[in-house]
């Protein structure tokens, strides 16, 4: 194994792949690296399959932090393996610091681990000046990856908090579309809705950009529906569509804020492809909408409201978004608080 120059080529490729993926994921602010995207999606699908069989939101709640840790381990492991293979490509790349004897494969693996973790050389040293230079590069590469990992974790945790705050703010309006409508309407209009929507628009837009920059955010789940962003957004979306369509006396200011909020939700949904979330192949089922049609502020029949909701192209995307977060479409419409 030691002395095969092909190992050096493979090692260089692995080092470049780990470094590129880490840079693309942490610094691009528009998408994750190709390795990261596939890795987190694969892990997420495995846990989602288990959840669908055993219904454990607590398990999904722990998924985000563990995926983040595993992703950092993946970057470091690839770099470690790459530098190990590179230093195995030449017999005297690493020698014993006392005897100057050629290091074994296991000893080289130990040497690289010490080097990329910036702990020094330990009992083994580079064989000549060229390998000393590469050792310095390996140490710099290790420090660079660890630094990127730390700078990545901090904004992800912060965005996770904002994500749950936004969901809770929406849930404060109501725990179902019907509850939101009943909470915000007064007589035959919605006098206070506009002000409430203004504060939500900025949060939703910001979260959309954060999910675009950090697709791993999609794997930070909540065990409760009131703090789950997919459920909260879907509930708000249904309520606003119904109000906009079925309320004839909606004042222009409120109608404008509803339109702007729907646009913010649309922009958010347009970022979901970064987490491999695409429109479902199935039409989302709608509940009996007679309780909505009977509200004094509306003049549309249940059938017309049903047709209007069914005609919205992003309903299938919302369905898939909730499914990928471990929730059922019924969770959007049903609530014990309704």
pLDDT at 1: 72
- On whether residue 321 sits in a domain, the answer given is yes
pLDDT at 8: 93
- On whether residue 158 sits in a domain, the answer given is no
pLDDT at 121: 64
Residues 191, 252, single domain; the answer is yes
pLDDT at 98: 84
Distances, alpha carbon 109 to alpha carbons 79, 117, 265, in Å: 12, 12, 50
- On whether residue 227 sits in a domain, the answer given is yes
Parent domain of 324: 172-333
pLDDT tens figures, 102-120: 999 999 999 999 899 877 6
Per the CB < 8 A criterion, the answer to whether 225 and 60 are in contact is: no
* CA–CA separation, 111 and 75 (whole Å): 18
pLDDT at 337: 42
Q: Which residues of the chain have pLDDT under 70?
A: 120-122, 188, 335-338
Residues 121, 21, single domain; the answer is yes
pLDDT at 118: 79
Residues 180, 328, single domain; the answer is yes
Residues 112, 196, single domain; the answer is no
State if pTM tops 0.95: no
- How many domains does the chain contain in total? 2
- On whether residue 159 sits in a domain, the answer given is no
DSSP letter (8 states) at residue 94 = E
Residues 83, 47, single domain; the answer is yes
pLDDT at 4: 86
- On whether residue 167 sits in a domain, the answer given is no
Residues 223, 305, single domain; the answer is yes
Residues 179, 127, single domain; the answer is no
Residues 187, 326, single domain; the answer is yes
Residues 212, 121, single domain; the answer is no
Residues 192, 329, single domain; the answer is yes
Residues 141, 177, single domain; the answer is no
Residues 110, 235, single domain; the answer is no
Per the CB < 8 A criterion, the answer to whether 188 and 295 are in contact is: no
- On whether residue 163 sits in a domain, the answer given is no
Per the CB < 8 A criterion, the answer to whether 170 and 240 are in contact is: no
> In a 3-state reduction of DSSP, which class is residue 125?
strand
- On whether residue 165 sits in a domain, the answer given is no
- On whether residue 164 sits in a domain, the answer given is no
Helix, strand, coil in percent for the chain, rounding step 5: 70, 5, 25
pLDDT tens figures, 141-155: 999 999 999 999 999
């Amino acid at each position: 194994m030691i002395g095969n120059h092909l190992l050096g080529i493979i090692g260089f490729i692995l080092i470049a792949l780990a470094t590129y993926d880490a840079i693309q994921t942490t610094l691009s602010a528009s998408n994750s690296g190709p390795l990261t995207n596939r890795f987190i999606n694969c892990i997420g699908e495995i846990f989602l399959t288990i959840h669908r069989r055993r219904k454990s939101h607590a398990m999904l709640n722990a998924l985000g932090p563990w995926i983040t840790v595993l992703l950092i381990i993946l970057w470091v492991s690839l770099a470690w393996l790459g530098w190990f293979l590179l230093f195995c490509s030449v017999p005297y790349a690493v020698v014993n610091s006392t005897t100057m004897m050629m290091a074994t494969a296991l000893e080289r693996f130990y040497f690289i681990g010490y080097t990329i973790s910036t702990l020094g050389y330990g009992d083994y040293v580079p064989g000549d000046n060229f390998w000393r230079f590469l050792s310095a590069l390996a140490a710099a590469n290790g420090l660079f990856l660890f630094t990127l990992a730390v700078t990545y974790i901090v904004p992800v945790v912060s965005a996770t908090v904002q994500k749950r705050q936004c969901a809770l703010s929406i849930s404060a309006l109501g725990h179902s579309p019907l509850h939101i409508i009943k909470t915000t309407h007064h007589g035959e209009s919605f006098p206070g809705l506009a002000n409430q929507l203004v504060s939500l628009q900025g949060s939703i837009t910001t979260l959309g950009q954060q999910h675009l920059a950090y697709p791993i955010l999609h794997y930070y789940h909540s065990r409760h529906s009131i703090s789950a962003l997919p459920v909260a957004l879907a509930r708000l979306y249904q309520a606003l569509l119904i109000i906009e369509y079925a309320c004839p006396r909606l004042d222009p200011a409120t109608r404008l804020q509803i339109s702007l909020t729907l646009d913010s939700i649309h922009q958010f949904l347009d970022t979901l492809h970064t987490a491999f979330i695409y429109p479902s192949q199935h039409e989302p089922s709608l509940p009996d909408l007679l309780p909505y049609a009977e509200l004094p502020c509306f003049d549309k029949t249940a059938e017309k409201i049903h047709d209007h909701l069914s005609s919205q192209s992003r309903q299938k995307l919302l369905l898939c978004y909730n499914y990928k977060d471990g929730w059922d479409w019924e969770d959007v419409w049903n609530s014990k608080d309704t």
